[in-house]
Amino acid sequence: MRTSTRSRNRADRLHTVTSRLTSAIVVAALCATGGAALRPESVEVRALSATPVGAPADETVTIDGEEYPNPLRLNDGTAVTTTAQWEDTRRAELLAAFRQNVYGQSLPEPTAQTFAVTSTDFDRVTRKVVTITVTGPEGTGSFDVTMFVPKLAGKPRGTFLMIDHRGQVGGDPDQSSGFAPVKTITRAGYAFASLDAGDIAPDDSGRYRSRMIDLFHPADEELPADAGRAVSAWAWGAGRAMDYLQTDPDIDPARVAVVGHSRGGKAALWAGAQDTRFAAAVANDSGSTGAKLARRGDGGVGGETVARINASFPHWFPPTYRAYDDRVGSLPVDQHELLALLAPRRVVVGSATDDGNADPEGEFLAYVAAAQVYELYGLGDTGLPSTTWRPPTDQGFRGPAMSYHLRSGGHGLTAADWDVYLAGDLFPSSAPGAGGDAARGRPGP
Ligand code: GCU
């Protein structure tokens, strides 16, 4: 597969998203902080039109002929025209809405947390098994993160932190499954780290609370209706792994991408949306409640609806999400807004042509619609040759902060997908916002 970076005019880029909101371009002046992470420090608004700051915004944007919530509208109706409004107000509003209505409230930060590291040397790689021990009000538990760090003169080019829902990553640095081609990844100069989602919350409706959730909730009490379930816990686990990565001298914490496939991709997006220490989130075939727009229903291709995912996997999301089973049009958010919560950090969406359950067109449309928010930073180029479905297959497209590819074939994380992610230069040193708040050491709001 090839990776291309293309520049197109703004009208083409935003073709699919027709917003009646008059837009403004915000130019982010970049400033290095602490020598490592680059963050947009100041903004200058170049009004494309006469939209005054504080003007009202339309409630919806049109995506593929349908109305969707407008990410650039504050709850009080005001148009978001600056990165300051986005970062100080709108992000928090959207996160609160996703927590209340989709993923549930996250587990809190541990009251105590320790890391125990066992390192093993191999020819080209150091393997570290990091036992993260977490204490909450109801007890103490632990889980492992397995890391493979290539031996290089400097630090790795970046780190892929995988939420492994298949328990498939073993200890062999030469393992080369399509799902986790550790050898290929480390030879390309990247570190690979992985946590087993089942060690955070078993993927089982009867047992999902048993590992981490019950450290924070009394085991003999029902969880509150809006408390996060398994997907939320997996995302939280990625945050705890990030707590460790920030302390590891062999890793650049400003260059960590959280990556997941399918249900792991849903969790990776939610982790990246909430925790701005992640420089990127990679969502491979994430589908329903991942990158796929909820309001599309089955998308005409048998895509998984909100009702179906909640019925099939009652332990993934809270009852508050189930309340929208038969009325997705009332959801206060949709998934283009989840992707937008990565801005200005890199969002990476991978789809597969024959993955009807994930509705690849629904993932594509959400990706394109998220560009509206990236455009606040002048980063709205999706890299796509056209924003109309369907894009060329087996080619990586890359804008300054957004990446997309459509692999031919069915559901799966394959060597071909990894080829795109590894060739995709996800951690360029000049990337605006790369590293998010990594240098500050705490997750963003
Ligand atoms: C099922 C489910 C999807 C999920 C997938 C997976 O197919 O319907 O929502 O993404 O499993 O995790 O592989």
- Taking only the tens place, the pLDDT of each residue in 82-131 is 999 999 999 999 999 999 999 999 999 999 999 999 999 999 999 999 99
Q: How far apart are CA 310 and CA 92, in angstroms?
A: 25
Q: How far apart are CA 437 and CA 444, in angstroms?
A: 6
- DSSP class of residue 427 equals -
Question: What band does 28 get if pLDDT is binned at 50, 70 and 90?
Answer: very low
Model pLDDT for residues 207-264, shown as the tens digit of each residue: 999 999 999 999 999 999 999 999 999 999 999 999 999 999 999 999 999 999 999 9
315: its two tokens: 């332990």
Atom nearest to 308 CA in ligand 1: 8
Atom nearest to 285 CA in ligand 1: 10
In the chain, the percentage of residues whose pLDDT exceeds 70 is 84
381 in Cβ contact with 8 (< 8 Å): yes
Is residue 63 scored above 90 in pLDDT?
yes
**Number of structural domains found in the chain:** 1
Q: Which residues, including other chains, have CB under 8 Å from residue 62's CB and lie 6 or more apart?
A: 17, 18, 19, 68
Q: How far apart are CA 356 and CA 80, in angstroms?
A: 35
This model's pTM is above 0.95 = no
If you measure from the C-alpha of residue 267 to the centroid of ligand 1, how many angstroms do you get, rounded to a whole number?
A: 12
Model pLDDT for residues 126-184, shown as the tens digit of each residue: 999 999 999 999 999 999 999 999 999 999 999 999 999 999 999 999 999 999 999 99
Query: What pLDDT score was predicted for residue 376?
Result: 97
Known catalytic residue at 411: yes
134 in Cβ contact with 212 (< 8 Å): yes
Helix (H) or strand (E) holding 338: helix 335-340
How far is residue 162 from each of residues 56, 257, 277, 372, 402, measured CA to CA in Å? 41, 8, 15, 28, 19
Query: What pLDDT score was predicted for residue 52?
Result: 77
Q: How far apart are CA 39 and CA 41, in angstroms?
A: 6
372 in Cβ contact with 380 (< 8 Å): yes
Asked if the structure places residue 406 within a domain, the reply is yes
If you measure from the C-alpha of residue 306 to the centroid of ligand 1, how many angstroms do you get, rounded to a whole number?
A: 12
Is residue 276 scored above 70 in pLDDT?
yes
Asked if the structure places residue 284 within a domain, the reply is yes
Asked if the structure places residue 361 within a domain, the reply is yes
Look up the domain containing 431 and give its range. 112-440
Atom nearest to 165 CA in ligand 1: 12
Asked if the structure places residue 98 within a domain, the reply is no
If you measure from the C-alpha of residue 189 to the centroid of ligand 1, how many angstroms do you get, rounded to a whole number?
A: 31
Q: For ligand 1, pick from 164, 261, 263 the residue to mutate: most ligand atoms within 8 Å of CB.
A: 263
Average pLDDT (265-288) is 98
Query: What pLDDT score was predicted for residue 54?
Result: 87
Burial 153-188 (b: 16+ CB within 10 A, else e): eebbbbbbbbbbbbeebeeebebeeebbbbbbbbeb
Q: For ligand 1, pick from 179, 357, 363, 413 the residue to mutate: most ligand atoms within 8 Å of CB.
A: 357
Is residue 22 scored above 50 in pLDDT?
no
Asked if the structure places residue 17 within a domain, the reply is no
Is residue 431 scored above 80 in pLDDT?
no
Query: What pLDDT score was predicted for residue 442?
Result: 52
If you measure from the C-alpha of residue 366 to the centroid of ligand 1, how many angstroms do you get, rounded to a whole number?
A: 18
If you measure from the C-alpha of residue 339 to the centroid of ligand 1, how many angstroms do you get, rounded to a whole number?
A: 19
252 in Cβ contact with 156 (< 8 Å): yes
Asked if the structure places residue 228 within a domain, the reply is yes
Atom nearest to 264 CA in ligand 1: 12
Query: What pLDDT score was predicted for residue 117?
Result: 98
Q: For ligand 1, pick from 229, 262, 317, 354 the residue to mutate: most ligand atoms within 8 Å of CB.
A: 262
- 3-class secondary-structure state, position 53: coil
Residues with CB under 6 A from ligand 1: 262-263, 287-288, 304, 309, 312, 357
Asked if the structure places residue 75 within a domain, the reply is no
Average pLDDT (408-423) is 98
If you measure from the C-alpha of residue 381 to the centroid of ligand 1, how many angstroms do you get, rounded to a whole number?
A: 30
Question: What band does 429 get if pLDDT is binned at 50, 70 and 90?
Answer: low
Model pLDDT for residues 327-368, shown as the tens digit of each residue: 999 999 999 999 999 999 999 999 999 999 999 999 999 999
Asked if the structure places residue 332 within a domain, the reply is yes
Atom nearest to 304 CA in ligand 1: 8
Catalytic option among 194, 262, 286, 403: 262
CATH number at residue 126: 3.40.50.1820
Residues 234, 411, 417, 335, Cα dihedral to 10°: -50
Nearest-CA residue for atom 7 of ligand 1: 357
Of the chain, the end-to-end C-alpha distance in Å amounts to 36
Known catalytic residue at 15: no
